[in-house]
Structure 1
């Protein structure tokens, strides 16, 4: 099966851009409820799988042993924007481990948060690894490495931390990963199918109904994400805005190259989608449409206008273009 049209962008009465992709909605059994495109398309989940990468941190007992509470668990699942609320938490977490910025392996990144960016630039400083959007995930990896008594190169694919991540990833997706790529933060990113990623999100969505250790860990991670949406991304970001709009009832997470997932505990449903051309504006519109379709998001909420139904404005404040769902997608 081929990718299908998902989102259109129109300007001056003409179709300017068309975004194709794949999307899968899974139920509690891991079965497909609805799908568009090819459920078996193999993708890199990128940062959309951070809650899976954080499972060993909780399931192993490392989080409890080393004082990782809900806010830090949310940060472990985050692609944050380097605001003070993010960098201060990472700094304190590293300090509690007796570690520092040099122990991270994610690389430096200029903060996306405007205030933090101005501070770096006005001081003539360089961004550091704590500003990296994945520094929370990496501090979680360091925490697990400390608990396991493993070495400092936690990002290498044969390290015990990444071995634990791969095992959890393959078990919750229900598939052996066909391979991995190195993510922007230098950690391995294991490939799976769109169906496998949606199946994993359904596992998280139904975790509260089970009592085994992994399910308890998954439930804690979902609860942390929904309790601290500002830590999962940041002010003005789609993950934070969408979770707030749904009142903490749904967890969502984006990944680079237009991957988006959602966890709906009240419905026991997981969603995964991938827009082929990597356009975030299209994946944001697509996940918004699917959340409305499933009754999780009020179509009248202002966030829907921002990501899906509202006009596209130019810098002079003029409405110059519009988004439309492609015929047959999420209608």
Structure 2
């Protein structure tokens, strides 16, 4: 079996749910210094790839040319939740960039967060492509196509020059040959890449420590991107979500994806982790990441405390009565 128990959820002392998974931690020598399960298992990045998919924008002069704010630029790497600040920035970007909402391939949607979604429904607003949580990424794709002279048509196809460029960037960061990168289709319709979990950790190691990147243009673009993510953490997700909590810590570069995938790099410690919860749960990410940081004796205890508050170890029922516990069952 290529995975192990990461989390047990108990109720009245009985195990009610078990979350299996895999974890890999790399140091700057690319050594697997921490591992749970098989670190060579191939895993789809899902939205954990968004920082990589945003790099063509940061390699260009689009942000400066169209006078985008840092809040707006952060949305190129975001899984935004449709809060007012996200929608306002997205509408501003539409006014600035040579992009039409109809150019976007992501489907019409309502916001992910409950409050803005229900408000729009009450007001009778229709679903829009702009409200899709990947709309910032797609806006970046279209903007790069127009800037580079690529056709906008079919920008979502794996053989489109933009997607080939992104695959090459991923190959450079992960050190996985393009021929070995598996390609699927993500929820929003664009290519999604699968590589070994250890290579995902290496990708995030280079995002956290761009001095490890030989190409100077790519190195500078990564630095600009990750600074933007840290400065505008609530644009990447929103309050009370793990990505925004971790990115508040200027020492961390982090992004999660669907089906239980999470990646983060630590700048000062020069190590990075990738993990996959096999059942696809995102609920236990805070417990797992907090445990990893605890086990490596991470210095910023406030970050760990914020994660613990996101997902407390005590389970309470609807009346606030303690009825169970969430227990971390792995040791690095």
Q: What TM-score comes out, normalization by structure 2 length? A: 0.92
Residue 237 (structure 1) shift: 1.4
Tell me, in whole angstroms, the C-alpha distance in 2 between the residues paired with 1:209 and 1:15. 44
Quote the offset at 1:146 in angstroms.
Answer: 1.3
**1:170 has 2:171 as partner:** yes
1:212 paired with 2:220, answer no
Runs of 5+ in structure 1 lacking a partner? none
* 2:19 matches 1:19: yes
Give yes or no for contact 1:260–1:272 (8 Å, CA) kept in 2: yes
Unmatched runs of 5 consecutive residues or more in structure 2: none
Tell me how far apart the structure 2 counterparts of residues 217 and 119 of structure 1 sit (CA, whole Å).
Answer: 37
What residue number does 2:325 align with? 322
The secondary structure found in structure 1 opposite 2:17 is: strand
The Cα of 1:249 is off from its aligned counterpart by: 2.2
Instruction: Give the Cα–Cα distance (whole angstroms) in 2 for the partners of residues 148 and 304 of structure 1.
Output: 41
**Match for residue 283 of structure 1 among 282, 285, 296:** 285
Count of aligned pairs between the two proteins: 327
Alignment-derived partner of residue 139 in structure 2:
139
Shift of 1:302: 4.0
1:181 equivalenced with 2:184 (yes/no): yes
Q: 1:142 to 1:273 in 2, by over 3 A?
A: same
Alignment of 1:1-331 (within 5 A): 2-152=2-152, 153-176=154-177, 177-208=180-211, 212-244=216-248, 246=249, 248-294=250-296, 295-298=298-301, 302-307=305-310, 309-326=312-329, 328-330=330-332
Range moving further from structure 2, 103-112 or 196-205: 103-112
3-state SS of 1:198 partner: helix
Distance (whole Å) between structure 2 residues aligned to residue 206 and residue 300 of structure 1: 20
Distance 1:115 1:307, change over 3 A: closer
67 and 142 in structure 1: CA distance in 2 versus 1, 3 angstrom threshold: farther
Q: How far has the Cα of 1:163 moved from its partner?
A: 0.9
Q: Is the 8 A contact 1:309 1:324 kept in 2?
A: no
Question: Partners in 2 of 1:115 and 1:307 — Cα distance?
Answer: 18
Cα root mean square deviation, aligned: 2.0
- Bigger mean CA deviation after superposition, 106-115 or 16-25: 106-115
Instruction: Extract structure 1 runs of 4+ deviating beyond 6 A.
Output: none
1:280 is paired with a residue of what secondary structure? coil
The residue matched to 1:118 in structure 2 has which SS?
helix
Query: Does the 8 A contact of 1:288 with 1:308 survive in 2?
Result: no
Moved more, 311-320 or 112-121: 112-121
Question: Structure 1-normalised TM-score?
Answer: 0.92
**Deviating more after overlay: 218-227 vs 309-318:** 309-318
CA distance in 2, matches of 1:325, 1:299: 19
- Cα deviation code 1:156-202 (max 9, x no counterpart): 21212111111111111111343211111111001111001000000
Q: CA deviation at 1:119?
A: 2.6
How far residue 329 of structure 1 moved from its aligned partner, in angstroms, is: 2.7
The CA deviation at 1:274 is 0.5
Q: How far, CA to CA, are the matches of 2:3 and 2:68 in structure 1?
A: 41
Residues 108 and 129, structure 1, Cα contact 8 Å, conserved in 2: yes
Q: Is the 8 A contact 1:57 1:144 kept in 2?
A: yes
Asked if the contact 1:232–1:239 (Cα under 8 Å) also holds between the matched residues in 2, the reply is yes
Shift of 1:298: 1.2
Native 8 Å contact 1:254 1:261 kept in 2 = yes
